[in-house]
Structure 1
Amino acid sequence: RELFGGPEWRQLDAGTISEDAAVARVQARIPRYAAQVRRAMDEWSNHFVPMPGMQGLVARLKAQGYGLYLLSNAGLSFFSYYKKAEVFRYFDGFVISAKEKLLKPDPALYRRLLDRYRLKAEECLFIDDLRENIEGAERVGIKGHCFAGSEELERYLKRSGIL
């Protein structure tokens, strides 16, 4: 919790702190667990597993010709671990908060996605598990849906005529 739920994790996502500096700060707070903090930072991405049902759903959307883009609050380490997860091969592009020095729900981050990939807000659907991030998308004209699991998302996409 000190590492993943602490202020340093948000700073990593914002691109305002290095992993080594984040680890050092957390280790200073909990010196008894210094080795475990370092190991957790080094190994957390090895345990990335897509949510059940999502890879198949993403593959179906891609097969139907939809452009798929990832807009994520993530640290720079994203660029080393995304290649390990097969689900990411379906995406046409990525906008990662640490690289952009912006965090969701800042409307500027959503605009960056639209501008970089020449997307029209009114043709996009943004899916996220946090309501505040949906609201950020809606502020720039992107329709949003709050993620509550792959089965619920599939039902929503069918009701919306997307699948």
Structure 2
Amino acid sequence: MNDVITTVVFDIGNVLIEWNPEHLYRRLIPDEVERADFLQNVCNMNWNLEQDLGRSWAEAVDTLCALHPDKADLIAAYSDQWHEMIPGEVSGTRQILQELQEKNTPLFAVTNFSNEKFAECLVRFPFLKTSFVDTVVSAEERLIKPDPRIYQVLFNRNGLEPGTCLFIDDSAANVEAARNVGMQAHHFKEAHALRQDLKNRGLLTN
């Protein structure tokens, strides 16, 4: 039988704020095939994850521009126009966050994020700074989900018991990793389903 959940742990990207490079590159590279090639073979997810592991954006852009000088402007735009990839909050989840706060539920976050861009998001979305007891940022720890060690940082730093924590993430791999270290978890797809799960678990009433 599962432990009683006392604590909720949120992912941030695509749970609380939307992030998708397509929002920027649909404008910069209108051709769908050309855009897909660029995002798969130039500014791809593996390259982006290095920033989530702590590499600076200046180094990331310089390194990739040296390999693809003909695409230097498009590569630089990934950092310089990064906020165009984030059109705003994910619909409905901030309201859930606020309702959990009103019930005095301890809230935490574990996020794969670069230091530089996370600092900018705290300015743009102040609720990310005020909602959580603690936020574990991958670039600060040089660990990224689904590495189980990043969850251990959360537990050790805050004295949390994994079984009493509900983890919410849009990545199936991150959810599985959380369960493997003893957390309960919700694979996020949209706010209505999350709200229903929280009601079923007794964490929300409406």
- RMSD of aligned C-alpha atoms? 1.6
Q: How many residues align?
A: 161
Distance in structure 2 (CA, Å) of the matches to 1:62 and 1:121 = 20
Which residue of the partner structure matches residue 123 of structure 2? 83
Worse-superposed segment, 150-159 or 78-87: 78-87
Deviation string, structure 1 residues 80-134 (Cα, Å, up to 9, x no partner)? 3223203312122110111101111111110101111221212100011111111
SS of the residue 1:113 aligns to: helix
Which residue of the partner structure matches residue 65 of structure 2? 27
Which residue of the partner structure matches residue 95 of structure 1? 136
Deviation at 1:47, TM superposition (A): 5.2
8 Å contact kept, 1:50–1:87: no
Distance in structure 2 (CA, Å) of the matches to 1:47 and 1:64 = 33
Q: What's the TM-score, normalizing by structure 1? A: 0.90
| Identical positions, percent | 29
Distance in structure 2 (CA, Å) of the matches to 1:157 and 1:42 = 38
Distance in structure 2 (CA, Å) of the matches to 1:133 and 1:157 = 19
8 Å contact kept, 1:58–1:87: no
Which residue of the partner structure matches residue 167 of structure 2? 126
The letter of the residue matching 1:83 is V
Distance in structure 2 (CA, Å) of the matches to 1:33 and 1:93 = 39
The letter of the residue matching 1:79 is A
Which residue of the partner structure matches residue 18 of structure 1? 56
The letter of the residue matching 2:72 is A
Deviation string, structure 1 residues 5-52 (Cα, Å, up to 9, x no partner)? 24221111112x221121122223432231232133022136531101
Question: Which of 148, 169, 184 matches 1:143?
Answer: 184
Worse-superposed segment, 33-42 or 114-123: 33-42
SS of the residue 2:189 aligns to: coil
The letter of the residue matching 2:90 is M
Distance in structure 2 (CA, Å) of the matches to 1:29 and 1:6 = 16
Question: Which of 109, 122, 129 matches 1:70?
Answer: 109
The letter of the residue matching 1:12 is Q
Structure 1: 5+ residue runs without aligned partners? none
Structure 2: 5+ residue runs without aligned partners? 1-38
Larger RCO (CA under 8 A, 6+ residues apart):
2
SS of the residue 1:59 aligns to: helix
Distance in structure 2 (CA, Å) of the matches to 1:102 and 1:47 = 23
Structure showing greater Rg:
2
8 Å contact kept, 1:46–1:81: no
